[in-house]
Structure 1
Amino acid sequence: MPISRAHPADVPELAELFAGYLDFYQVPRPLPEVSAFLAARLERGDSVLFIARDQAGQALGFVQLYPFFASLHMAPAFLLSDLYVHPTGRRQGLAEQLMNAARAHAEASGACGLQLETAKDNLAGQALYEKLGYVRDEVFYTYWLGLRP
């Protein structure tokens, strides 16, 4: 299945997928808000999105990367923030293809690594990440300080 870097023209299809992603995590948002969020990320260059399509051109999944600096490595890196495949596209290797596209982009950008977090009960995701060489961090805890409701 073709994987390509997303452009502003892809926002309507990406927004539909992203809304499904948010629904999966039980944080639904109105589609116009989702569209505006994604359009802003692409226009400002805040993130890099890759989109997976079937042979007919139907958007079936995406991965979103945010650049940051890994201070301990004194080098750029990427946060693999979001990965989603629509239910109709699952069990076809799309998540792995999207993950590989993210890795290729990070490597081509000179990044020292990719970081991600996942739900403790996302066993399928964990199996994929470990298959692709990701190592679970057993040293550091992740903390979150919410600043807005």
Structure 2
Amino acid sequence: MQIQRLTTSSKHLVTDLFNQYRVFYKQPSDPVLADAYISNRLQYGESVIFVALNDAGEPVGFTQLYSTWSSVRAVKNWILNDLYVTAAARRLGAGRKLIDAALAFARTEGAGYVQLETAEDNHNARRLYETIGFVQQAPETEYLVYRISL
């Protein structure tokens, strides 16, 4: 398993995986949208994407990070927003290697933290995240999160 950072010229490696990821989350299949979305994120430097390639050089997973800033701490942090591994490649270490690459990248960027979210019933993912060292945040933190839909 090899992990590489995606560039605009290698975006083709994840567009189908990104479409599969969206379908996994009950979105309609739309390869054109997937290609445009990945292209724009890379073209405008809005995300960092790593792809996992199997021994045959075929893409089997990806992770996508978005930056966020803390004004108070004056540091850039990263949201590990997307992690997807094909069913055939699960339990072969691709997810862990993708997360390891994301964490190594964030460290070189001087990040204060990497954050992610997952469903409560996603036990396999939660086990992986906790094994790596992610700690579930208590809902009673010092700050409350509010959101308004537009």
For normalisation by structure 2, the TM-score amounts to 0.92
Q: Which residue of 2 aligns with 1:22?
A: 22
Distance in 2 between the 1:85 and 1:29 partners? 17
Tell me the alpha carbon deviations over residues 92-144 of structure 1, each in whole angstroms, 9 at most, x when there is no partner.
01100000000000001111110111111111111111111111011346554
Establish whether residue 146 from structure 1 lines up as the match of residue 149 from structure 2.
yes
Q: Which residue of 1 aligns with 2:121?
A: 121
Q: How does 1:51-130 map to 2 (within 5 A)?
A: 51-130=51-130
Distance in 2 between the 1:118 and 1:63 partners? 14
Distance in 2 between the 1:69 and 1:47 partners? 14
Give the count of matched residue pairs.
147
Measured after TM superposition, the shift of residue 20 of structure 1 is: 0.8
Helix, strand or coil for the counterpart of 1:117?
coil
Q: Which stretch shows the higher mean deviation, 29-38 or 133-142?
A: 133-142
Structure 1 unaligned residues grouped into runs of 5+: none
Distance in 1 between the 2:56 and 2:148 partners? 43
Measured after TM superposition, the shift of residue 75 of structure 1 is: 1.1
Structure 2 unaligned residues grouped into runs of 5+: none
Q: 1:27 to 1:143 in 2, by over 3 A?
A: farther
AA aligned opposite 1:145: I
Q: 1:132 to 1:82 in 2, by over 3 A?
A: same
Distance in 1 between the 2:145 and 2:127 partners? 20
Q: Over aligned residue pairs, what C-alpha RMSD do you find?
A: 1.4
Measured after TM superposition, the shift of residue 2 of structure 1 is: 0.5
For normalisation by structure 1, the TM-score amounts to 0.92
Helix, strand or coil for the counterpart of 1:69?
strand
Distance in 2 between the 1:15 and 1:63 partners? 12
